[in-house]
Amino acid sequence: MKKTVIIGGVAGGASCAARLRRLDETAQIVLLERGEYISYANCGLPYHVGNVIPQRESLMLQTPQAMKKKFNIDVRVKNEVVAIDRQKKLVQVKKVESGELYEETYDTLVIATGSSPMRPPIPGIESERIQTLWTVRDADRIRAMVSDQNSKTAAVIGGGFIGLEMAENLHRAGLRVSLIEASPQVMAPLDAEMAALLHENIRQHGVDLHLGDAVASLQENETDVTVTLNSGKQVKVDFVVLAIGVRPNSQLAKQAGLELNEKGGIRVDEFLRTTDPSIYAVGDAIEVEDFIFKDRTMVPLAGPANKQGRIAADNIAGGRETYDGTQGTSVAKVFDLAVASTGANEKTLIKRGLVKGNDYESILITQNAHAGYYPNALPLTLKLLFAKDGSRIFGAQIVGFDGVDKRIDTLAVAIRLGASVGALKELELAYAPPFSSAKDPVNMAGFTAENVLRGLMAFSHWDLTQESADAVLLDVREDAELAAFSIPAAVHIPLGELRQRIAELDNTKEIIILCGIGVRAYNAARILMQNGFDNVKVYPGGSRFYQSTHC
């Protein structure tokens, strides 16, 4: 009878244990977890704080008793592994409540120790008014600060997934929220122009957004906390939630002599084995292959961790399953917007030395999530990055009110299966007016990309200051649309009048065309390009996108 010891529960460890039992009824499986819970929905914690998920028990996915009854797994919570002896193939375990030490032998060991929130050495950070959100107990403490202490204000430091979800849910709980981010934008997987849509929405909901301004110090006062930023600005709040990022819990692996990368990630092969063939590792603590560029990276996401746990179990049971990389597909709710991404962003392409126009192209379109004539048709903005020859898709980002998740999933599948950008226009996707349009936004991304690759159109930069100072901005919207929003420097010629008034334009100048969402601008570009205009571009996303990024 082979014995497998798993260190850590939640996503990777618990999924590994359950899968291993399904594959091998005779295996001895021991799961050791230093915390109180072996499997809980940590992604749901912000929503418990905001009372969207009011019952704490709803977050508990498995209990030790259920794991024993369903899977015959020996689950021991509040049992912390403090050392690994690779030569003797045993772990030293401490019972958290009593401090008692004991040893547990293994044939195969699985490290699923996850990650922990970072607490950088900022002066004052050890105050009890400075919280992180990572466990159920963390959520309990923050909920108590909101309700029992009658807090009115809070600051969230960090604009990633947890930071944005916390800002929304604290706002929902009735607090005045300040969101502080050291970089110039929230949500690092997005490019700047897509993040601008979130900035607008966050501010519209009354959150005080501080960008490009890191925290210099934190000072606990008698009844509140003073957050001092590098700029000298001060924000006074009742409490602070840190959401700066995570670090891998790899100390055990390091002490055992397993190989780590420079960020502390445990190095594993394609079978998820560490440098010791008897030890596997999964989840946030490991280094993985970047699916797009095939080099090494770290991506702490629940979906990949669950898959890795399953693969490790298969291999422990004698299989030869491989983990073929993480592409970082993710989605988040930010107030009434959804934001999603998959694969590489443009910042990454540039950092890798790729040059737009030579190595890659990008498009940005605005489309309704479903048929415009069906009620409540709301727009989504989609950015697609692809190889200059159209042979592969590098990544995609979407921000919108509805239908964002299914479009990013479609694009994620296309990337995973190696589809060319041309394949997007060929996809046959479900259509009915409440759900989509006959030309789904994913199809439209394919059509638009094809037009760019064939030279039928070109996009301007989203930030018009990056274009030629002599460029002419041509607005082809109707007169009534200008009453709601207009650009003073633009030349206005409605699309229906363009052929008759084409002589009003100078064909020696760069012409950048703008309309509501981009369709009329493309039609105008085709008219001009076939009438002697050689330098014509379409402004991406239309006038609404311009407002969000420039006003």
- pLDDT tens-digit readout, 259-279: 999 999 999 999 999 999 999
The percent of residues above 70 in pLDDT, for the chain, comes to 100
With bands split at pLDDT 50, 70 and 90, how would you rate the model's confidence at 37?
confident
Give the model's pLDDT for residue 407. 98
Is 515 an annotated catalytic residue? no
- DSSP of 419-477, one letter per residue? --TTHHHH------TTT--SS-HHHHHHHHHHHHHTTS--BPPSSGGGS-TTPEEEE-S
Give the model's pLDDT for residue 551. 77
Give the model's pLDDT for residue 135. 87
Instruction: Write out the two tokens for 63.
Output: 């209990």
Q: What is the mean pLDDT of residues 396-422?
A: 97
pLDDT at 38 > cutoff 90 = no
pLDDT at 60 > cutoff 90 = no
pLDDT at 84 > cutoff 90 = yes
pLDDT at 50 > cutoff 80 = yes
pLDDT at 13 > cutoff 90 = yes
With bands split at pLDDT 50, 70 and 90, how would you rate the model's confidence at 211?
very high
Give the model's pLDDT for residue 488. 86
- The C-alpha atoms of residue 108 and residue 23 are separated, in whole angstroms, by 15
pTM, two decimals, is 0.94
Give the model's pLDDT for residue 58. 84
pLDDT at 62 > cutoff 90 = no
Q: What is the mean pLDDT of residues 302-306?
A: 93
Q: Token match 């979906």: residue? A: 303
With bands split at pLDDT 50, 70 and 90, how would you rate the model's confidence at 61?
confident
Q: Is 131 exposed, middle or buried (0-12, 13-18, 19+ CB in 10 A)?
A: buried
Nearest partner of 221 among 238, 242, 241, judged by Cα: 238
Give the model's pLDDT for residue 255. 97
pLDDT at 409 > cutoff 90 = yes
Lowest-confidence region among 24-38, 40-54, 72-86, 491-505: 40-54
Task: Name, in order, each residue with C-beta under 8 angstroms of 354's C-beta and a sequence gap of 6 or more.
Answer: 360
Give the model's pLDDT for residue 65. 87
Give the model's pLDDT for residue 435. 96
Q: What is the mean pLDDT of residues 160-173?
A: 95
Lowest-confidence region among 45-54, 360-369, 432-441: 45-54
- State pLDDT tens for residues 88-122: 999 999 999 999 999 999 999 999 999 999 999 99
Q: What is the mean pLDDT of residues 379-393?
A: 97
The answer to whether the CB of 241 falls within 8 A of the CB of 232 is no
Give the model's pLDDT for residue 40. 76
Mean pLDDT of the chain: 95
- The C-alpha atoms of residue 338 and residue 40 are separated, in whole angstroms, by 24
pLDDT at 67 > cutoff 80 = yes
pLDDT at 1 > cutoff 80 = no
Q: What is the mean pLDDT of residues 339-353?
A: 97
Task: Give strand ranges (E) for 201-314.
Answer: 208-211, 215-220, 225-229, 234-237, 239-242, 246-248, 279-281, 288-289, 296-297
Residue of 16, 43, 515, 551 marked catalytic:
43
Q: What is the mean pLDDT of residues 138-150?
A: 88
